[in-house]
A and B are shown apart, each in its own frame.
Chain A
Amino acid sequence: MNWLLTLLLVPAVGAVLVALLPKDKPELAKQVAFGFSIATLVLVIAMALQFDPNSSQPFQFVTSTPWIQSFGISFALGVDGIALVLIALAAVLVPVVILAGWNEADRSDAPTKGYFALMLALLVCMIGVFAAVDVFLFYVFFEVMLIPMYFMIGRYGGARRSYAAVKFLIVSLFGGLFMLASLIGLYVVSQREFGAGTFDFQALTQLGMDANTQRMLFLGFFFAFAVKAPLWPFHTWLPDAASEAQPGSAVLLVGVLDKVGTFGMLRYCLPIFPEASQFYTPLVIVISLVGIVYGALLAIGQTDIKRLIAYTSVSHFGFITLGIFAMTSQGQSGSTLYMVNHGFSTAALFLVAGFLMSRRGSKFVEDYGGIHKVAPLLAGFFLIAGLSSLALPGMSSFVSEFLVLLGTYVRYPVAAVIATTGIILAALYILLLYQRTMTGPVKPGCEDVKDLTGREMLAVTPLVALIIALGVFPAPALDVINPAVDQTLVAVGVQDPQVGVTADCDFVDGCVQGEGQ
């Protein structure tokens, strides 16, 4: 059985099928879409069980078909541990989002079925983008992915949806262009090196590029990924997009799509441009630190709940890139796990906030108050999601955040200490939001807010269960992530510095022994 092709086909068939359903049967469209998303999830789980974490092969379930032979492009798929957990993230979130957003598209002018067909189409792209092992194929998925999301925001979003959708599309395409330029550059270099040009990822990691070429081409990729993630200062499209999108679309946008940016840095920037990655590390670390603090401060200052959550993500993306460029196994494993955990916690936060906003019809913090009194379950789930976002120890996000900080501290103690202030700010933005919306006397207009329905509980409970389970027992994730991260570090040519009483560590310069041995 060809796992990855099947994984692409199942949601693709689902998307087509849902799109072909008659317009006047929205419930059927939802049910069919939900069924296909669950089928995809089951397939992903089955595949994950087949995955061998101790395999000596860099990629598993590899399948490759020549596609555009004249340019050495093939339709090549395969997963390592990093791609596997991100595919799992996407596969978990889509059924959750369909269930949670059951009525999201009902009030739109556009047909309901379209929203769910787009969601399945997006799932195809998300699986494809993480499973591609041909850089050109990755690029194609990277760009095609924008289309379903563009329509999900532009047709089914809020009042300023077309502005937000166009901004999202233009900015993303703009970033993508730079990657395309670098991609062509890579092809040219590979042609010169190997005789025949290729886009095969593993072949490209063997290129012996000189430092200047690396640095030029790195920037093209990095810029595209930095816009996608988004990192400070390329983040301004995200709050608009997240705020105008339906909560379900926002979850997939922030939870999965944005991870393609950080995934791209880890998968492509580091192994293909090892020298350039190390060269730009100081710059990326500074950007990350600014993002962590800046995103958190902006989140504190927001008055719109969805924008607030979007800004918390800007802060979290800072942590992820910090861990990636710390160039330690703890940092990169932490970042990978962070991508997954952030997906779960942001999903929970957006969805519960969405349940709340759909009841009251406002996205402004000031319109809420005392919700705990009228809808205690909703308030409770919101608090759990928030605690996950602030990385409460015992929850999965703590494991990843701490690993990122620890992995950074080993090499860059000062940066790690600055990043750690983020945990104080995180407590502020989450608990202020909770205090303002959920506690105190019931605000006028909130009296009739109903508590969560069975369907809504069913949607967010798996997220909460995963957040706690992976916090207490992260081994299943770490088991598959660690070997993949080790491969990345080998490709970059760095080793974890030695620590301990015999090591050579400093409070400013970090630990140096063991590097590059």
Chain B
Amino acid sequence: MATDLLASATPTITYAPADGVFTYVWVLIALPVLGAAILLMFGRRTDSWGQYLATALPIGSFVLAVVMWFAMLAKPSEDRGVIQHLWDWVFVGNFTANVGLQLDQLSLTFVLLITGVGSLIHVYSIGYMADDPKRRLFFAYLNLFVAAMLLLVLADNYLLLYVGWEGVGLASYLLIGFWQYKPTAAVAAKKAFVVNRVGDFGLSVAIMVIFVTFGTVTFPEVFAQAGEASEGSLTWIGLLLLLAACGKSAQFPLQSWLLDAMEGPTPVSALIHAATMVTAGVYLIARSNALFDLAPTAQLFVIAVGAITLIFGAIIGCAKDEIKKALAGSTMSQIGYMILAVGLGPIGYAFAIFHLVNHGFFKANMFLGAGSVMHAFNNQENMRRFGAIRTVMVITFITFGAGWLAIMGVPPFSGFYSKDKIIEAGFAHSWAAGVTAMIGAGITAFYMTRLFTMTFLGKKRWTEDVHPHESPSVMTIPLIILGILSAISGFVLAWNGAIEKWLEPVVGFEHPDPPIPIPLISGATLALVIVGALLAYQQYRRDVPITAPTSVSPLTVAARQDLYGDAFNETVFMRPGQYLTRALVWFDNRSIDATVLALGSATAGLSARLRKWQTGFSRSYALSMLAGAFLLFVAMLVVRL
């Protein structure tokens, strides 16, 4: 096909100053900033209407983004990039980083996802948080999050991206710890922030290396010079950016915070810890494709991290009884797929973003579905006390079902299109990548079917005090929309290679060329999925004990402990760190301070001795004056000579 011949492995896009509707790019961010500012500054006065304002503003951004989308479609694909310079930000010597925004196909995809799914989740939250006394703050933080996430994907340089990057981290911190009175929530929030800071360490140093290597941190200028940099520099930049991505996207070895992050209200888990923020690492690598493409060693690490995490998260997902934790394990695993895909280079970028969008729909859908269930079950989330919910919550059941089929990759649901492409691209890279991705698909089918069966199918295992009923329409309508999107987004976006063609000018594209026929890969994957699903269905459709069995395989024990991620952190970092700080506090009080004080008391002792000379007898004074004069005389003689 002609279009395929035109496909380019390297980006071809050019950026022009924003004109027409694109001069309003800043408004995309300004609207949610305004919402957060009004809700935070005007306080209780906004209690009664704040949630509506906070919902209307991201919808406004979404509408504007759709308008921009149409405006962009009217342009030739290489000319779709625009840059808007807002103001000079940090400038010293030969370093400059401005507040400038960059809109292209990649960032617009994210903008549409963030504002679209974000708006739906705002609407859902009107119902979900209706009775929370701090509802206003919740919506303020959600707006803050949307603004920061938009800044992250619209920034035209690494330093400004960092502001959005940490801004979403702040919003995440505030929302995980939203119910601060629960110590677990407060600890989880802090943990998320601190672990993310380890990733930020990577991003900070990466920006420094980028500046030294390229003399600039602005995306188009950096990427244009990528070919002139040494591979060593590019590899370091790649590894440091990967570290940043691991923190934000909960990838191995910085994955441990995501499961705890489920302490936050469920809409937060859906928006921040599933659909958008945790995919920022994927964005960062995809955005830096020009650097990664020339750093194969870094790419190999990216693939390895993705492959490890996709299995790691899936195994954890198999053992969790809390519905949100199982979904969190799944998120980790699905982002592992995306990270793996962006590590593959031009054969993977487009599919990573494709899967990211699909995942945004189906995972938000399932988290909100889980929230709907928990809403009906007095905030219980133990799946062992669920079962047969299909009978009482039909809409939640059907929409969740769409998400379940989508994540397993059952055709024609969305996950099928994107995950299969990633598996194909994985095989095109290496057998190891392909086989890992394929096995992951089987495990995914197992844990999702387990979750789905335990929750919606089988028999009732409800506690006495619950009387579940379907959620109000303000919650079910977002579910229905997301359910439909989970079903069709893959099919629509894959139509005639739409997503590849759309993204290709920014991230480049090459057709994967796996060593075995594609139908064979698809068939084998589907077979594994069916086996996984059937195994889970067989095991969990009948009796599920309401307390978790204790005599289980070592793997299950390990998976329940998040594969010892926390235990590792505790033994290697926390305990030694605590001993170190205690020892240092002791040292500081005893040793350094004591030296200073000893000097002080030595002086005091000396002056006590000297004081004895002040006898008050004029004869002794006369004697010392004589001695002094003699000494002075001798000294003068010595100097003269």
Contacts and interface: CB of A to CB of B under 8 A. Distances in A.
B214 A403 contact: no
Contacts of A235: 592
Nearest to A416: B208
B187 A435 contact: yes
A501 B229 contact: yes
B255 to A, nearest CB: 17
A174 to B, nearest CB: 8
Contacts of A407: 92
Contact of A170 (B88, B189, B215, B600): B600
Contact of B201 (A394, A409, A424, A507): A424
Contact of B211 (A394, A441, A499): A499
Contacts of A416: 205, 208
Contact of B162 (A236, A393, A482): A393
Given A298-B588, A328-B93, A373 B181 contact: yes
Contacts of A431: 173, 189-190, 193-194
A505 B230 CA distance: 11
B197 A302 contact: no
Given A298-B588, A301-B585, A501-B213, A440 B181 contact: yes
B512 to A, nearest CB: 32
B92 A236 contact: no
A297 B573 CA distance: 13
B208 A300 contact: no
Contacts of A302: 585
Given A298-B588, A416-B208, A387 B170 contact: yes
B92 to A, nearest CB: 4
A432 interface: yes
A238 B204 CA distance: 30
A500 interface: yes
A233 interface: yes
B177 interface: yes
B166 interface: yes
A68 interface: no
B498 interface: no
A432 B177 CA distance: 13
A507 B236 contact: yes
Interface stretch (A26-34, A39-47, A344-352, A471-479): A471-479
Nearest to A438: B180
A171 interface: yes
Given A297-B584, A333-B92, A370-B181, A499 B205 contact: no
B212 A410 contact: yes
Interface in A417-458: 417, 420-421, 423-424, 427-428, 431-432, 434-435, 438-441
Interface in B543-584: 577, 580-582, 584
B167 A394 contact: yes
Interface string A474-506: 110010001001000000000010011101010
A399 interface: yes
A435 B229 CA distance: 44
Interface string B170-193: 100100010011110111011001
A237 interface: yes
B623 interface: no
Interface in A254-282: none
B596 interface: yes
A243 interface: no
Nearest to B151: A394
Interface residues of A, number: 67
Contacts of A170: 600
Interface string B289-300: 000000000000
Given A435-B187, A441-B181, A405 B163 contact: no
B228 interface: yes
A329 interface: yes
B565 to A, nearest CB: 18
A236 B592 contact: yes
A505 B190 contact: no
B584 A294 contact: yes
Contacts of A321: none
Nearest to A370: B181
B473 interface: no
Contact of A440 (B91, B183, B214): B183
Interface in B593-632: 593, 596, 600
B288 to A, nearest CB: 16
B62 interface: no
B599 to A, nearest CB: 8
Contacts of B198: 424
A198 interface: no
B201 A392 contact: no
B488 to A, nearest CB: 38
A511 B180 CA distance: 47
Given A394-B167, A501-B228, A432 B190 contact: yes
Nearest to A392: B166
A342 to B, nearest CB: 17
B89 A474 contact: yes
B234 to A, nearest CB: 11
A154 interface: no
Contacts of A435: 186-187, 189-190
B90 A399 contact: yes
Of listed B95, B99, B177, B592, residue having the most chain A CB within 10 A: B95
Interface in B82-99: 87-95, 99
A427 B208 contact: no
Contacts of A403: 90, 92, 95
A505 B212 contact: yes
B200 interface: yes
B602 to A, nearest CB: 12
Contacts of B92: 329-330, 333-334, 403, 407, 478, 482, 485
B538 interface: no
Contacts of B364: none
A427 B185 CA distance: 17
Which of the listed residues B167, B173, B180, B207 has the most CB atoms from chain A within 10 Å of its own CB? B180
A428 B193 CA distance: 9
B91 A420 contact: no
A406 interface: yes
B294 to A, nearest CB: 13
Nearest to A240: B593
B225 interface: yes
B433 interface: no
A394 B166 contact: yes
Given A474-B89, A500-B213, 5 more contacts: A237-B596, A297-B584, A472-B99, A499-B94, A499-B212
12 contacts: A236-B588, A294-B584, A300-B577, A403-B95, A409-B205, A424-B200, A439-B186, A474-B90, A478-B91, A499-B214, A501-B225, A505-B212
Interface of A: 167, 170-171, 233, 235-237, 294, 297-298, 300-302, 328-330, 333-334, 370, 372-373, 387, 392-394, 398-399, 402-403, 405-407, 409-410, 413, 416-417, 420-421, 423-424, 427-428, 431-432, 434-435, 438-441, 472-475, 478, 482, 485, 496, 499-501, 503, 505, 507, 510-511
Sorted from nearest, which 7 A-B pairs have the closest CB atoms? A500-B215, A329-B93, A439-B186, A301-B581, A409-B208, A301-B585, A501-B228
